[in-house]
Structures are given as structure tokens and as C-alpha cells.
Amino acid sequence: MTTRTLAVVSAGLSTPSSTRLLADRLADAAVAALAERGAEVRTETIELREHARDLADHLVTGFPNAGLRPVLDTVAGAAGLIAVTPIFSASYSGLFKTFVDVLDRDALYGTPVLLGATAGTARHQLALDHAMRPLFAYLHAAVTPTAVFAASEDWGAGGASHELGERIIRAGGELAGLVAARPASSTADPFADVPDFTTLLSR
């Protein structure tokens, strides 16, 4: 059996980025929980910042260039996805949404997805539920019950930090459960399931 891939998408813009930090910790938690279940996965982390121009070109030309194509293939072929965005103006960032916009419509159909978001203050945390969840519901992804929000203060000392760690472990466990329960699927081939023309004619 080939090792399955856990795709980790971070839309953070700064370096270092708290969005990437959250993405890494969620990935660690999911990998650990999968290991407990005896499942080995390889993580592939995608920094959307590195593909900002590729994504803009895709909007204009309608196709992914050579830099973006393997990234889209990785996400479409992944056994699970961790998607983390900073919250800008009450929602996911434009860069994050652009990435989602250029995914094939069925790329995440049934794929287990763990959502994360970061912001300066906790006042933005509902964006996970009013913006991120509906977006992934549209994509027919299987989103974990727990999504993880981290405000700046969550990274500091005190009880809040402890709570963030617990949420990360819980969410990672939920993703591991969904990934482990899902049979390995082959990468979708658009040419494999074209109906014979006599079928098309008789529809």
C-alpha cells in the first residue's frame, strides 16, 4: 500500500506566519493521531504566498501553469486536507479564496478537511463557521466537527494557550478518524469515466 498524502494549505502572508504555525500544529496532531491508528501519511505543505502570481495568472488565462499544476494535483489527490487562512475583512483571505476558486469543482468531493483560521483578536472567530464551513459545504468536503481558530493571544502564556493545544489535538483526532475510515482513492481521471457515445445519445 502506498503512503497516502495529507495536504496542508496555508494562506499566511508573513514570515514567520501564525497561520503556518497553526497549520503545522494541526498537521502534527493529525499525523500523530493517524500513527496511533497504525496509518502512515506523508504531509505536503503548500504556502499559497509562493503561488500568488500563479493563481492570478490562472484567473486570467483559465489554466494552471507548470508551477501551480502539481499543487492542484496534490490537493485533489490527497487523502485529507488541512486548510488554514488568516481572517481578512470578516472572511477568508482573497488569496485563499482564489486558490479554492481554481480547484476543480469535484476536487474535494468527500475529502476529509480540517479548517483553521487565525486573526489578531478572538472577535473574528465566527468567520470559521459563517464563511469557511459554507465554502467547504459547497465543495462537498467532509469537514471535521471541530475547526480551530487561533487569535494572537492564544499563542501567549496562560490558560488560553492550553485550550488551543487541546482544540488542536481534538481536531487532529477527528481528521485522523475521517481519513482512516475513508478508502484510498485513485486520482480522478477525466478521461476514465466518459460514457460511450451510444449512452450519451440515449439520454
Partner 1 sequence: MQFGVFSVSDITPDPTTGRTPTEAERLQAVLRIAEKTEEVGLDVFALGEHHNPPFFSSSPTTTLAYIAARTRRLQLSTATTLITTNDPVKIAEDYAMLQHLAGGRVDLTLGRGNTGPVYPWFGQDIRQGLPLAVENYALLRRLWDSDVVDWEGRFRTPLQGFTSTPRPLHGVAPFVWHGSIRSPEIAEQAAYYGDGFFHNHIFWPADHTRRMVDFYRRRFEHHGHGNADQAIVGLGGQVFMRKNSQDAVREFRPYFDEAPVYGHGPSLEDFARETPLTVGSPQQVIDRTLGFRDYVGDYQRQLFLIDHAGLPLKTVLEQLDLLGEEVVPVLRREFAALKPAHVPDAPTHDTLVAARNAQQGVAA
**Which residues of this protein are in contact with partner 1, per CB under 8 A?**
56-57, 59-63, 65-66, 190-191, 194-198, 200-201, 203
What's the min distance (Å) between Cβ of 102 and partner 1?
Answer: 13
Q: Least distance in Å: CB of 198 to partner 1? A: 8
CA distances from 73 to 25, 42, 67, 117, 189 (A): 24, 15, 11, 23, 11
- Exposed/middle/buried for residue 114 (C-beta within 10 Å: 0-12, 13-18, 19+): buried
Beta carbon nearer to partner 1, 183 or 191? 191
Q: Between residues 187 and 198, which has the closer beta carbon with respect to partner 1?
A: 198
Rounded distance, CA 81 to CA 6, Å?
6
What are the DSSP calls for 28-93, one per residue?
Answer: HHHHHHHHHTT--EEEEEEEGGGGHHHHHHHHHHSS--TTTHHHHHHHHH-SEEEEEEEEETTEE-
Q: Least Å distance between CB 48 and partner 1?
A: 18
In the complex with partner 1, the residue whose CB is nearer, 63 or 159, is 63
Closest approach of partner 1 to the CB of residue 75, in Å: 19
Query: What is the rounded CA–CA span in Å between residue 83 and residue 97?
Result: 11
Beta carbon nearer to partner 1, 2 or 196: 196
Closest separation between CB of residue 107 and partner 1, Å?
A: 15
Measured from the CB atom, is 2 or 203 closer to partner 1? Answer: 203
